[in-house]
């Protein structure tokens, strides 16, 4: 049976939970005939990359999908690209790198190798708002996406990888400014499941136009 490694971060920035891994925990043990391996990873630049690299070596997955929180976004966003830059406006759970490359020998950027447009379409078709994103930021989410794609390119050829951002969980909206977008964790899990269904069953990505003007 094929296997997908799905990761989610632990809480950071003073939040009591991180909806990324809370949603991952709700995923079924298999999706579309593919075995699902769930892994919580630390919100720390260097350590998160090490933990995922060890998991790839151990589990030998066919796909790697990382999930992270993007507080302030109103939809599930499937990331297109990761850049070779760490610029941490706030400390992670241990580090605060500034204007430095994630990998000295890495490419300037890597594109996700999962069918990102098909994933967006499948999530929307399930009744959950989803968009393509063309920036994963410069924090730990971009870092893990970049590091995973770097590792797949350099050490694990044939394995496909990508990243999805989820909004704040509903409970995280308590005490935040009026209008702060949130989503139920169960809805996030449903969206991730739909994305995985597309990721493991689509050979060629959709051709819909999904660009942004800014």
How many alpha carbons fall within 13 Å on the CB side of residue 139? 18
214 catalytic, yes or no? no
User: What's the distance, CA 183 to chain centroid?
Assistant: 16
- Active-site residue 165, yes or no? yes
Please identify which of the residues 22, 66, 79, 193 carries the catalytic annotation: 79
Q: Which of 56, 52, 63 is nearest to 147 (CA)?
A: 52
DSSP state at residue 16:
S
CA distance 101 to 87: 9
Query: Is 66 known to be catalytic?
Result: no
Catalytic residue among 22, 141, 193, 197: 141
Q: What are the φ and ψ backbone dihedral angles of 54, each rounded to 5 degrees?
A: -60, -40
Residue 160, phi then psi, degrees to nearest 5 = -100, 145
Neighbours of 174 (CB within 10 A): 8
Compute CA distances 13 → 87, 93, 101, whole Å. Answer: 15, 8, 23
Catalytic entry in 22, 165, 193, 197? 165
Task: Give which of 39, 131, 121, 123 is closest to 77, Cα–Cα.
Answer: 131
Q: Write out the catalytic residue numbers.
A: 79, 141, 165
């Amino acid at each position: 049976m094929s296997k997908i490694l799905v990761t989610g971060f632990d809480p950071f920035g003073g939040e009591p939970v991180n909806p990324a891994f809370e949603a991952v925990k709700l995923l079924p043990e298999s999706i579309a005939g593919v075995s699902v391996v769930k892994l919580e990873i630390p919100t720390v630049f260097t350590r998160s990359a090490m933990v995922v690299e060890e998991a790839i070596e151990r589990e030998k997955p066919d796909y790697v999908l990382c999930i992270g929180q993007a507080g302030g976004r109103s939809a599930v966003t499937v990331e297109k690209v990761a850049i070779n830059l760490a610029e941490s406006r706030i400390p992670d759970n241990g580090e605060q790198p500034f204007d430095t490359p994630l990998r000295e020998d890495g490419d300037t950027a890597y594109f996700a190798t999962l069918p990102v447009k098909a994933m967006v379409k499948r999530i929307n078709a399930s009744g959950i708002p989803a968009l393509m994103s063309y920036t994963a930021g410069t924090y730990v989410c971009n870092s893990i996406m970049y590091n995973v794609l770097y590792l797949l390119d350099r050490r694990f050829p044939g394995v496909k990888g990508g990243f999805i951002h989820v909004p704040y969980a509903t409970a995280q909206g308590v005490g935040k400014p009026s209008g702060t977008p949130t989503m139920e964790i169960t809805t996030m899990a449903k969206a991730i499941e739909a994305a995985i269904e597309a990721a493991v069953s689509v050979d060629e990505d959709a051709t819909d136009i999904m660009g942004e003007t800014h």
